């Protein structure tokens, strides 16, 4: 009797055997099953429209509309960016032509060359800068700054070079923006050249002034070369104070190194002429070939 009662308790404590269901079997009715998650595809789009939940149906339509709108806007932005890049390249190319025109200056044709350069610069504004303004006005043009910045820098370089050769002074940012303001529609925000692009163009100006100074020394215009030297030295000194505090100083750092080399070249040329000027200054720019250098007589 003791053994039978013990066996009965062991049978009650033993786990009941579990019945394993094969994957092919279906669950009996009334039992809960986990539904697999599926992605909405074109095949299920009609099912979404017939969804009895109106909130889900509305948000699905909004999502489809926004996706189409983003795709459309990205295409428009890419097309606008390509047009802006093309306009910036045209500004760069024609501004370089103005700079080359200024380098043709000499003692005898200064007024003529500067007049031609000013006409070419006005043509750059009327034909190419105006097209750039038309593409960018009324929009957040600062978002496309990388696309048009090279052309704006080259234009600043050409405009400041012409103004310095004519007046001997620096063309400031307010004057440049004032000259471009009539190109914009008064009802929208006008395109304004920002401080960074102006300073980058001003840094490039020193390289062109260095070439101009060397040319003026070879033509005998020593006072003009010394004036250029003082002007470039002052620009370098002022930008040395500003460049470390600029937000985007990577481009400016490279230009500052090149600017220092330009200053040194002008100073060395002016110093050489000042120290050894008695040897060859009277003959600089002269068309007379019957002279000797360093006091050595001509050998017949």
CATH class of 80-294: mainly alpha
Kindly list the domain boundaries of the chain, sorted by start residue: 2-71, 80-294
273-285 pLDDT per residue, tens: 878 765 555 545 4
pLDDT digits (tens, 9 = 90+) for 143-166: 788 889 999 999 999 999 999 999
> What pLDDT is attached to residue 297?
42
The 3-state secondary structure of the chain reads CHHHHHHHHHHHHCCCCCCCCCCCCCCCCCCCCCCCCCCCCHHHHHHHHCCCCHHHHHHHHHHHHHHHHHHHHHHHHHHHHHHHHHHHHHHHHHHHHHHHHHCCCCCCCHHHHHHHHHHHHHHHHHHHHHHHHHHHCCCCHHHHHHHHHHHHHHHHHHHHHHHHHHHCCCCCHHHHHHHHHHHCCCCCCCCCCCHHHHHHHHHHHHHHHHHHHHHHHHCCCHHHHHHHHHHHHHHHHHHHHHHHHCCCCHHHHHHHHHHHHHHHHHHHHHHHHHHHHHHHHHHCCCCCCCCCCCCCCCCC
pTM of the model: 0.68
């Amino acid at each position: 009797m003791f053994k039978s009662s013990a066996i009965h308790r062991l049978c009650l404590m033993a786990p009941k055997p579990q019945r394993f269901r094969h994957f092919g079997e279906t669950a009996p009715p009334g039992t809960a099953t986990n539904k697999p998650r599926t992605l909405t595809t074109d095949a299920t789009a009609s099912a979404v429209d017939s969804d009895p939940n109106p909130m889900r149906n509305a948000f699905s339509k909004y999502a489809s509309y926004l996706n189409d709108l983003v795709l459309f806007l990205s295409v428009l932005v890419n097309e606008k960016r390509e047009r802006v890049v093309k306009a910036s390249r045209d500004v760069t190319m024609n501004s370089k032509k103005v700079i080359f025109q200024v380098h043709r200056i000499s003692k005898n044709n200064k007024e003529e060359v500067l007049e031609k350069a000013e006409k070419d610069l006005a043509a750059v504004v009327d034909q190419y800068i105006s097209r750039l303004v038309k593409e960018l006005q009324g929009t957040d043009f600062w978002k496309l700054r990388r696309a048009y910045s090279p052309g704006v820098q080259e234009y600043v370089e050409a405009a400041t070079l012409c103004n310095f050769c004519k007046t001997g002074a620096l063309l400031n940012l307010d004057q440049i923006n004032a000259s471009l303001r009539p190109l914009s529609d008064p009802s929208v925000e006008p395109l304004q050249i920002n401080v960074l692009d102006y300073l980058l163009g001003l840094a490039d100006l020193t390289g062109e002034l260095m070439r101009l100074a060397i040319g003026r020394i070879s033509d005998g215009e020593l006072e003009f070369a010394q004036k250029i030297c003082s002007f470039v030295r002052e620009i370098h000194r002022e930008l040395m104070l500003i460049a470390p505090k600029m937000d985007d100083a990577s481009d400016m750092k490279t230009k500052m190194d090149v600017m220092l080399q330009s200053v040194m070249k002008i100073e060395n040329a002016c110093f050489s002429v000042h120290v050894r000027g008695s040897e060859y200054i009277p003959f600089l720019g002269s068309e007379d070939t019957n002279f000797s250098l360093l006091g050595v007589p001509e050998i017949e």
